[in-house]
Amino acid sequence: MVVVVQQVIDVTAAAADGSAARRRPARVPVPPPRSLLSTVGAKLKETLFPDDPFRAVAREPAGRRRALAVLRYLLPCLEWLPSYSFAKLRSDVVSGVTIASLAVPQGISYARLAGLDPVIGLYSSFVPALVYAALGSSRELAVGSTAVISLLFASMLGPAASPAEDPALYASLAFTATFFAGAFQAALGVLRLGFLIDFLSHAAIVGFMGGAATVVALQQLRGFLGLQHFTHATDLPAVMRSVFSQSAHWLWQPFLIGVCLFVFLQITRYISKRRPKLFWISAAAPLASIIVSTLLVYLISGEKYSIQTIGSVKKGINPLSVKSLLLSSPHTWLAARTGIITGIISLAEGSAVARSFAMAKNYHVDGNKEMIAFGAMNMAGSCTSCYLTASPFSRSAVNRDAGCRTAASNAVMALAVAATLLLLTPLFRYTPQAALSAIITSAMLGVIDVRAAARLARVDRVDFCVCLATFLGVVFRSIDVGLVVAIGVLVLRVLLSVARPRTTALGKVPGSTAYRRMDQYATAQATPGVLVLRVDSPICFANASYLRERISRWIDDHEDQIRTCGGESLRCVVLDMGAVTSIDSSGTGMLEDLKRSLDKRCLQIALANPGSEIMRKLDKSKVLQIIGDEWIFLTVADASDYAHRNCKIATTLQSVLSPNEMV
């Protein structure tokens, strides 16, 4: 191996005096070898700790201050508590009360959707919110149950235990699934594997959430029409069959209440959207609908008109549920599966929301720490009669608009919900189910993000297809099928992009030394006798043989063109390695094969702008020797000029020197 220092001098020396550089262009240095340990260490650090989470700790001098920094790292509430002021408290109380007025009706609605006792929905806004206030590092996230996860619970756990016939077993299953979801989320965070969540792309999430929201909204037809029986399936055809087969039992009274409230909620949403300052109108609307409809049903004695109501709701805050966790029963595996799937989905939604809010206000959210917070709040929740909570986008947006300053707004919400649990639950007795359906349907319309889908269709059609396939999978088959479709398509897409990298021919942009794609830059001109090819991907096992064949096809095409159109015959192929960010042993083998096969065709090969990893691998695999040190260049312009001037001689020389190779 040539010594690096010498080569670095070469670069400067060659670059310093103009004319000499013309003849011998700057060389590309081979970096010094690194030990396996330092390579693996650097890789692991970049994979698992890309955001350098201990930066703040490392900055502090050792001793007490560093211990405090560690504590601050572990308990993010210590970051804002010391500087907490009355002004911040006021903001947080306002926003906390606002989201509580949303949390109460949503909690009851979603718990019913999950097939659970409504009061469990209220419990779920109490303990988890307190835990998140202590551990969460996002300022705006509001914690609570979400509609999509509630429906997933019902559709995955329902077949094992009927919510109507054995509510105790069903609730145990839900708590157990919540426990597993929390444990899985915390494990992902502790092992710093949060990046796995990134493989659920934005497009897939838009399609998935849209499909799930559609499915949830369809389920509300039951409440709107006052139906007693309803299908367990979630797909559109089954729901439609179920609804229309019972057309004789449709009731107009709940339908009237539901539609009136739905229209009311839509109007308030529209007002708040037009005037962001009036955010409280849409935030308070669900609670207002609940109050108005409950009063109405109470006054007209709703039972007479067969209007279904929620019924009595237990008083008192969360009872313990540790004993109902089913950690060794035949259903444990089902609960674990449900927990893992719902845990992933809630993380995917939650981390997207947290990141986008943090980005907007320019502070940093540690995704892995956020996962630990989610995991802790769900594990704590599963022991205190809560089911899976996440951070619904709508509630978090209200929290932000209401001006929350710290995670304390979640604690305020928790206290408000606890007050409701202790004092107000008897009032929900007359709340009509149609009101809950109206609230859910209205919230779901906000989740179906038609504008994002339209944007995808405009910007990136492949992404749009992923989004559409996921949506259709969810709506027409089931929620899990949609998820599997999404993940399958995304992994296939990544693999395909690696297996079939782009290769392009470059030409010189006149008047500059830049070589650019000839299909992009109409003015770029090919150098006579030289074919400059750019490989747009790492060269690895998955694409080495493809690239070998593709490059010879480029050469064939070029020679065909010269045969038909005339021009200087080909003497040298320059490979622009600028975008080849890594190479493995199949890749170096490919270059070796390519060199030999070009030798047979009396063509010279030159490499331009290889990165340091590439140079190291080429050197170690002896391919550098085979190609020849002098055919590696710093820039495409160097390579192309040098080849244009020296190639004929080089080829002739070589054919004299190694006649055996020229069979």
Chain residues 319-338 in contact with its own copies, contact rule CB under 8 A: none
**What is the per-residue burial (b if ≥16 Cβ within 10 Å, else e) of 294-318?**
bebbeeeebeebebbbbeebeeebb
Site for its own copies in 499-528 (CB under 8 A): 499-502, 509-514, 516-517, 519-523
- Rule CB under 8 A: say whether 454 interacts with its own copies: no
Residue from 190, 263, 495, 653 touching its own copies (CB under 8 A): that is 495
Rounded to 5 degrees, what are φ and ψ at 13? -60, -45
Residue from 158, 167, 446, 611 touching its own copies (CB under 8 A): that is 611
Residue from 67, 327, 459, 653 touching its own copies (CB under 8 A): that is 459
Site for its own copies in 131-190 (CB under 8 A): none
- For residue 661, the minimal CB distance to its own copies (Å) is 11
* C-alpha to C-alpha distances, 601 to 571, 572, 587, nearest whole angstrom: 9, 10, 21
Which CB sits closer to its own copies, 156 or 489? 489
Residue from 47, 569, 652, 655 touching its own copies (CB under 8 A): that is 47
Q: Which of 122-130, 210-218, 229-237, 543-551 is the region at the interface with its own copies (rule: CB under 8 A)?
A: 543-551
Site for its own copies in 5-34 (CB under 8 A): 8, 11-12, 15-16, 21, 26, 29, 31
Structure tokens at 505: 């021919």
The C-alpha atoms of residue 493 and residue 486 are separated, in whole angstroms, by 11
What letter does residue 309 receive in the DSSP assignment? B
Q: Which of 72-80, 163-171, 175-183, 548-556 is the region at the interface with its own copies (rule: CB under 8 A)?
A: 548-556
Q: Which of 244-252, 267-275, 330-338, 541-549 is the region at the interface with its own copies (rule: CB under 8 A)?
A: 541-549
Which CB sits closer to its own copies, 480 or 584? 584
Site for its own copies in 66-125 (CB under 8 A): none
- Rule CB under 8 A: say whether 490 interacts with its own copies: yes
Site for its own copies in 181-210 (CB under 8 A): 195, 198-204
- For residue 627, the minimal CB distance to its own copies (Å) is 15
- Rule CB under 8 A: say whether 659 interacts with its own copies: no
Rg (CA), the chain: 32
Residue from 235, 370, 463, 641 touching its own copies (CB under 8 A): that is 463
Q: Which of 276-284, 393-401, 486-494, 650-658 is the region at the interface with its own copies (rule: CB under 8 A)?
A: 486-494
Q: H/E/C letters for each residue in 234-274?
A: CCHHHHHHHHHHCHHHCCHHHHHHHHHHHHHHHHHHHHHHH
Site for its own copies in 205-224 (CB under 8 A): none
Residue from 234, 318, 385, 588 touching its own copies (CB under 8 A): that is 588
Sheet holding 572-576, edge to edge: 515-517, 503-508, 530-535, 572-576, 604-608, 632-633
Q: 63: how many CB neighbours lie within 10 A of its CB?
A: 8
Sign of CA dihedral 259, 263, 269, 273: positive
Number of chain positions touching its own copies (CB under 8 A) = 105
Which CB sits closer to its own copies, 312 or 569? 569
DSSP assignment of 452-501? HHHHHHHH-HHHHHHHHHHHHIIIII-HHHHHHHHHHHHHHHHHHHHHS-
The C-alpha atoms of residue 530 and residue 600 are separated, in whole angstroms, by 17
Which CB sits closer to its own copies, 79 or 584? 584
Which amino acid type is present at position 88? K
Which CB sits closer to its own copies, 93 or 626? 626
DSSP assignment of 390-409? B--HHHHHHHHHTT--STHH
What letter does residue 632 receive in the DSSP assignment? E
Residue from 109, 410, 635, 640 touching its own copies (CB under 8 A): that is 635
Residue 663 burial (C-beta neighbours within 10 Å; 0-12, 13-18, 19+): exposed
Contact 224, 255 (CB under 8 A): yes
- Rule CB under 8 A: say whether 654 interacts with its own copies: no
Residue from 79, 480, 536, 559 touching its own copies (CB under 8 A): that is 536
Q: What angle do CA 387, 392, 397 make, to 5 degrees?
A: 150
Residue from 158, 541, 628, 651 touching its own copies (CB under 8 A): that is 541
Which CB sits closer to its own copies, 11 or 160? 11
Distance in Å from the first CA to the final CA of the chain: 30
* C-alpha to C-alpha distances, 50 to 204, 274, 599, nearest whole angstrom: 24, 40, 44
- Rule CB under 8 A: say whether 550 interacts with its own copies: yes
Which amino acid type is present at position 249? H
Which CB sits closer to its own copies, 249 or 553? 553
* C-alpha to C-alpha distances, 115 to 56, 162, 170, nearest whole angstrom: 45, 9, 8
Q: Which of 153-161, 209-217, 263-271, 593-601 is the region at the interface with its own copies (rule: CB under 8 A)?
A: 593-601
Site for its own copies in 264-303 (CB under 8 A): none
Binding-site string for its own copies from residue 331 to residue 370, where x marks contact by CB under 8 A and - marks none: ------------------------xx--xxxx-x--x---
Which CB sits closer to its own copies, 274 or 458? 458
Contact 148, 345 (CB under 8 A): yes
